[in-house]
Amino acid sequence: MVLMIEVCKLCEELASMSSRSSMVALVSRFIRGLEGRDVEIAVRFIVGELFPPWEPEIGLGVMGVVDSVIKVFSSSRPEFFKEFKATGDVGLAAMRIAERAKGRHMGLLDQRDLTIEEVYDAFKSIAEASGEGSRRRKLRLFSSLLFRAKSPLEVKYLVKLALGERRHGFGEGLMEEAIAEAFNVPHELVRRVNMLISDIGLTARIARSGGAEELKRQGIILFHPVKPMLAEKADSVLTALREMGGKAAFEVKVDGARVQIHKSNGQVRVFSRRATDVTLSLPDVVELVRSKVKAREVVLEGEVVALTREGRPAPFQVLMRRFRRQRGVTKALSEVPLRLYLFDILHLNGKTLIDMPYLERRRVLEEVVGKDMVIDTIVTGRYEEANAFYEEALRAGHEGLMAKSLDSPYTPGVRGKRWLKVKPLFNTLDLVVVAAEYGHGYRASMLSDLYLAAYNPETGEFEVVSKCFTGLTDEELNWMTRRLKEIAIREEGRVVYVEPKIVVEVAFDEVQKSPHYKSGLALRFPRVVRVRDDKAPWEADTIQTLAEIYEKQRGRGGQGG
């Protein structure tokens, strides 16, 4: 039985540390002695998660959490927001409000200390509350949980968990290392299983109970989305052919949203590339798979594209309206029709297929779903043929091509050169918003100046490479401002720092050397092209990608630095 206060104290200690190896050692010692459900829950709590990403959110919202704190500790909104302004942290503000209550509302003296299992079960009940009056039930349950807390520190982390906020810098990457060290298993096996089942808590439980052998045996679990394999960029069809050794499969790259579809008998669920369950938003896709895909169990990957009345691809933002919609879906079916293009198969009737070469997976895919549902593809080593296919894809309104190595396995969550995307706009990057600054003039109330960061897989950090204030409409900036305030972690003057959750596609002229940013690199003339709601932060382009672009610029006589 693990007490919640123990996890809270651990997270406080992590927040005071800067050494990655020391943090990993501390967490590995802590989880080594845990078993079963405790290790699963503790691992999730430490990385700031309540549930796996595809499970429903608790649905309290920032103001619901704040109002519960105010109610339980007899405070007020002005008092709370005074503390928030001083700390820039909702959890820390809640802790100070609880401290001010001087124990008058900190649990009952004869009440047992909270366990992490009790906290998890309470949040599960909050998430599952639905129907008429569910909002009141959610708030009542969360208030009861706060009342059970016996220390202000527990209040701080209950609030953080409710908001999905993590401030101590210990994410999934470091947790994978801690699991490997705690249970004496290879790090690469831990990472592979976490990529396969998208559940760091369950991964820890498997490592704890069965060690390396059980990790090796672990395959795909139906209705646990597999983290998607990622692609690097190529600036031309010729470059892609050279990278692939002279011959490759070229698939049409549609301007859609990537989806992963799980089917078991009559049950079908659809997940976004961020592992969010979007089944309710895409009933037409569900029905198509249910009626056309005859396999008993299957996991498919593809893209859905919104269509115009003429049957051509509609803008990406039109598609996103379908993805975000939970109500009025029936009306949306006729307003925004979709087409599903499948391009991979990861699991079939109890067998995980990701280690099979691309060509074999492609053959199995066509046998299972038929060629009509599979994306247009050619296999060639001739530049002329590949380039003609590329130009034809562009004329049809698609983004370009995907080039895939013929013998490539499917490597979940890994970005590499076995898959390459070829697009005419090479100078675009997917970056993450990590902060924003209020604008000027009529934009003074909008967070219009965005701080954009690339992912550094070596450190697990997002490093700023640009400040951008062009590209978004006022309507989009209003949406962005609301969203950024929901994920804010602190304010310093006019700058609001946020959790790295929002991905945007950014066009630019060049990559330059910069003394102003930790990364040492900056974008010249950046402008936001669109918001990528379909992408997870860890799918953003990397610092290493920017460095490669910089070196290529130098090679062709660009400004470089």
DSSP conformational letter for 277 = B
Which residue among 156, 227, 253, 404 is the active-site one? 253
End-to-end CA distance of the chain: 57
Which strand (E) or helix (H) includes residue 264? strand 257-264
Which strand (E) or helix (H) includes residue 489? strand 488-492
CA atoms of 313 and 397, how far apart (whole Å)? 6
State the virtual CA torsion across 154, 160, 166, 170 in degrees, nearest 10.
Answer: 30
Instruction: Say if CB 452 and CB 464 are below 8 A apart.
Output: yes
CA atoms of 331 and 529, how far apart (whole Å)? 28
Q: Which two tokens stand for residue 363?
A: 């053959």
> CB count, 10 Å around CB of 382?
12
DSSP H helix total and E strand total for the chain: 20, 18
> By CB neighbour count within 10 A (0-12 exposed, 13-18 middle, 19+ buried), where does 32 fall?
middle
What lies within 8 Å, CB to CB, of 27 at 6+ separation is: 10, 14, 46, 170, 174, 175, 178, 182
Residue with tokens 């796996």: 52
DSSP conformational letter for 234 = E
Phi-psi region of 243 (alpha: psi -120 to 50; beta: other; left: phi over 0): alpha
Pairing type for strands 415-422 and 230-234 reads: parallel
Which strand (E) or helix (H) includes residue 559? none
> CB count, 10 Å around CB of 427?
17
What lies within 8 Å, CB to CB, of 392 at 6+ separation is: none
Instruction: Say if CB 170 and CB 27 are below 8 A apart.
Output: yes
Read off φ and ψ for residue 201, nearest 5 degrees. -70, -45
Residue with tokens 């293009």: 341
3-state helix, strand, coil in the chain (%, to 5): 45, 25, 35
DSSP conformational letter for 442 = G
Which strand (E) or helix (H) includes residue 438? strand 428-438
Is 518 in the active site? no
Active-site residues, by number, are 253
